[in-house]
Chains A and B, each alone.
Chain A
């Protein structure tokens, strides 16, 4: 049994899972925003990065990790709300290219602002748990206390989002506003408020993601910390289906595992190639995503 857990295949699966949950969280934020406002938030990684800076750079490094995490989440939620109210609100009902240009522009603005305030020097964030892999019979298992913490946190975040959406009145209104804004208004749902709340929620998820990514020993926090992760999360969302939260999560985890195998058995430089290949193939075969029910959306 010990040999199984420390085997090469199992190491790839566990390592892939740890990366995959991060892609899944990024994809989840993208899906939340896409479903409610039909906007692809290219600035999502940068917004999350900024929230992480607020949590960890504004407060002295001596502050407790969990306090910083909480501050980062609050910052993310506030930033999400402000972004929707100021930048995004002007984009509703505009030609499709407008939000793309605006959000890419916003990404660049946020990264420049972060660089101007905190410089581009990498900051290493404190890790709340050891990053040293557990050992079984003298051989390492590809899972450390910190990695397990990442996985558990991601699952908790996903569960919270799922519970809010499926089992609360707020979730019912958030879903209704996304599916049919006009009918929702006729039933008294304050649709514009729901759109803002959707952005706040997604941006809060993003903040957690950025803190997890940046407190990983190998990455650290820089203004561009989230760029790579965002790209993979974006691919996960596109492959899983931008309308499907479950698809985004499954695709995120599967991509994480697949990349790990590619990196291990082929070459780590091939990962990007495989990622883009997957994206192209999935866009050709099922442009609406693997997990989206093929129903026409009525506008």
Chain B
């Protein structure tokens, strides 16, 4: 269980998050929705330690993460797939994965096994293991970014706009993969999406942000059924 409580973040005079509070449960997908500039990315960056909050705390199973360096937060079990995926294009697919495996797997054989497990999970990555990551398609890059986070065996996975720039069919496929992963492994997933429709389809819980504030925090089905939220905050007009 990862909890965010009273979180406020500011970039200079610009307040990006105001008093944000919610919890994300293990084995469940919590969608964080909202328009551009609502503070979704800032929220994830604060959880993973890239941004220091002005106030509030982030806790993982009751233990405070706030104030810990990003490189240590990932060691505590929080994997973050950043906006734009953060695949290192100059590295081969395998080098990207090896980088992800460093903190969780010691020794050559352990790392080899971990790599093979990801290749089984994402066969296309196995086929392209020697290729520079820059040559992958958008969907493949997203797979690689997720595999690279998963290989470190996280308890919490933060996904920032995984559907960005993907074709609808690829997005559907991806959302299916995320929901399977989550159900199978008891992983806590926080899924940031501008594409509210596809996120709500797989999410258990949804938090809606509007200029840095939480305007809704409920079961995904309730959020999806709320006409006011759909119209004003999610831009889902039938």
Q: Which B residues are in CB contact (< 8 Å) with A182? A: 50, 82, 86
| A185 proximity list for chain B (CB < 8 A) | 50, 69-71, 74
Q: In the docked arrangement, what's the CA distance between A30 and B103, Å?
A: 30
B86 A189 Cβ-Cβ under 8 A:
no
Asked if B74 and A180 make an inter-chain contact with CB atoms under 8 angstroms apart, the answer reads no
| Residues 217-265 of A contacting B (Cβ, < 8 Å) | none
Q: Does A138 contact B (CB under 8 A)?
A: no
Residue A169, interface by CB 8 Å? yes
Q: Does B98 contact A (CB under 8 A)?
A: yes
Tally chain A residues at the interface, Cβ within 8 Å.
17
- Taken residue by residue from 78 to 106, chain B's Cβ proximity to chain A (1 for < 8 Å, 0 otherwise) reads as 01101000101011000100111011000
Pick the residue among A173, A175, A179 that contacts B102 (CB under 8 A): A173
Q: Given A176-B91, A179-B91, A191-B71, A186–B99 Cβ distance below 8 Å?
A: no
A172 close to chain B: CB less than 8 A: yes
* A285 CB-CB contact with B under 8 Å: no
| Complex contacts, A175 vs chain B, CB 8 Å | 90-91
Chain A residue at minimal CB-CB distance from B80: A186
Tell me the bound Cα distance from A191 to B99 in angstroms: 13
A179 touches B90 (CB 8 A): yes
- B176 an interface residue at 8 Å Cβ cutoff? no
Chain B contact residue count (CB 8 A cutoff): 23
Docked-complex contact A183 and B70, CB < 8 angstroms: no
The answer to whether residues A188 and B90 also contact, given A169-B102, A172-B98, A183-B82 and a CB cut-off of 8 A, is no
Residues of A within 8 A of B142 (CB): none
Return the chain A residue nearest B78 by Cβ. A186
The closest CB in chain A to the CB of B69 belongs to: A185
Given contacts A176-B88, A176-B91, A179-B90, whether A187 and B82 have CB atoms under 8 Å apart is no
- Give chain B nearest CB distance to A180 CB in angstroms: 5
* Chain A residues, Cβ within 8 Å of B71: 185, 188-191
- The answer to the question of A83 belonging to the interface, with a C-beta cut-off of 8 Å to chain B, is no
CB distance from B123 to the nearest CB of A (A): 23
Q: Roughly how many angstroms separate A172 CA and B103 CA in the complex, as a whole number?
A: 13
Complex interface: chain A residues within 8 A of B86 (CB): 180, 182-183, 186
Most buried by B among A179, A180, A186, A191: A186
Given the known inter-chain contacts A172-B98, A172-B99, A173-B99, please indicate yes or no for A186 contacting B91, CB distance below 8 A: no
List chain A residues, Cβ under 8 A from B74. Answer: 185-188
Contact A189 B91 (CB under 8 A): no
Closest Cβ neighbor of A190 among chain B residues: B71
Is A184 among interface residues, defined by CB-CB distance under 8 A? Answer: yes
How far is B95's CA from A183's CA once the two chains are assembled, in angstroms?
14
Contact code string B190-218 (vs A, CB < 8 Å = 1, else 0): 00000000000000000000000000000
With contacts A172-B95, A188-B152, A190-B71 taken as known, whether A180 is within 8 angstroms of B102 at the C-beta atoms is no
Query: Complex: how many Å from CA A130 to CA B99?
Result: 47
CB pair B91–A187 under 8 Å, yes or no, is: no
Chain B positions within 8 Å of A173 at CB level: 99, 102
Known: A172-B98, A179-B90, A179-B91. A187 touches B103 (CB 8 A): yes
Alpha-carbon gap, A68 to B235, bound state (A): 72
A-side residues, CB < 8 A to B, are: 169, 172-173, 175-176, 179-180, 182-191
Interface residues of B (CB under 8 A from A): 48, 50, 69-72, 74-75, 79-80, 82, 86, 88, 90-91, 95, 98-100, 102-103, 148, 152
Q: Can you report 10 A-B residue pairs in the complex whose CB atoms are below 8 A from each other?
A: A169-B98, A172-B99, A179-B90, A179-B91, A182-B50, A182-B82, A182-B86, A184-B99, A186-B86, A189-B71
User: 11 other contacts beyond A183-B88, A188-B74, with CB at 8 A cut-off?
Assistant: A169-B98, A172-B98, A180-B86, A182-B86, A183-B86, A185-B74, A186-B70, A187-B103, A188-B102, A189-B102, A191-B71
Query: Which 9 pairs between the two chains have the least Cβ-Cβ distance?
Result: A188-B103, A183-B86, A185-B70, A188-B74, A186-B80, A185-B71, A188-B71, A176-B99, A190-B71
